[in-house]
Amino acid sequence: MLVSAKEMLQKAKAGQYAVGQFNINNLEWTKAILQTAQECNSPVILGVSEGAAKYMSGYNTVVGMVVNMIKDLNITVPVALHLDHGSFDHCYKCIEAGFSSVMFDGSHYPIDENVAKTKQLVADANAKGISVEAEVGSIGGEEDGVVGTGDIADPQECKAIADLGIDFLAAGIGNIHGKYPANWAGLSFDTLDEIQKLTGDMPLVLHGGTGIPLEMIKKAISLGVAKINVNTECQLAFADATRKYIEAGKDLEGKGFDPRKLLAPGVEAIKASVKEKMEIFGSIGKA
């Protein structure tokens, strides 16, 4: 069974650790993340972008796969299925399909429109026990064709959105999606601190968790970050392990071409990445 991300993130914020959101792309990804969460006795959030959902056939397919995998693999840790960077319409599609959490990315709207849309979504989602993440200040880099410039969010705008009844808030503090450039300026902890002071108990979300140095992650958690999104890191690990397998010619040995063998090193690499992140975030044993 899926759970909303509300309770697990409130618990994380109170306990000064973070729950990882790991984006899924297919069955192998989903299985690797769920099994690792179970082995680590950690709560977990499965992130699905609109593009990844489309790739997997659609939201109903995703819900069917995740819900039934939880059943078949006897997963007992809390699992939330979360739409990542959703448009307003797609948040509703996910609620309809059975997601337990949605992120409305209204950061590109003027603040008044972001407020109005977020308010409506919160009312409709909360009525069904579905958690809502909102975003203030765009997050740099590219995600499914949405390019952000890496703003620093206005803490007052964060407060305005937080007061609408959302469950957790993503604020741009210089973080970006994908690999970080060599000249990256780092996270703005002063902004994060100010946002936390204004929003109180609200769990904060750090997007673009790939490649942020360990000390910065720890500091962000100490300043109220309770959810960290990881996507690119698992993709890089999967690709690297798969390339090594093929470059070593293992697909040409015996039945090495069998997808269950061909994809196995990549799956193990995802598992290792997820476990490493859970250790850093402090969510192990917190299910």
Q: Does the annotation count 163 as an active-site position? A: no
> Cβ–Cβ contacts within 10 Å for residue 209, how many?
26
Does 117 bind Zn ion (CB under 5 A)? Our answer is no
Does 271 bind Zn ion (CB under 5 A)? Our answer is no
Which residue has 């402090």 as its token pair? 282
Which range binds Zn ion by CB under 5 A, 23-31, 149-157, 199-207, 276-284? 199-207
Asked whether 95 and 128 are in contact (CB, 8 A), the reply is yes
Does 227 bind Zn ion (CB under 5 A)? Our answer is no
What residue number has its CB nearest to Zn ion? 207
Which range binds Zn ion by CB under 5 A, 39-47, 152-160, 183-191, 205-213? 205-213
* CB proximity list for 67: less than 8 A, separation 6 or greater: 1, 2, 98
CB of 140 or CB of 265, closer to Zn ion: 140
CB of 155 or CB of 209, closer to Zn ion: 209
Of 72, 84, 201, 258, the active-site residue reads 84
CB of 90 or CB of 207, closer to Zn ion: 207
Cα(91)–Cα(88) distance, rounded to whole angstroms? 5
Binding residue for Zn ion, selected from 207, 271, 277, 286, defined by CB under 5 A: 207
Beta strand extents in the chain (DSSP E only): 19-23, 44-49, 79-86, 101-104, 131-136, 141-143, 146-148, 168-171, 204-206, 225-230
Q: At what angle do helices 88-97 and 59-72 cross, to 10 degrees?
A: 40
CB of 174 or CB of 265, closer to Zn ion: 174
| Catalytic positions | 84
Which residues here bind Zn ion, judged by CB under 5 A?
207
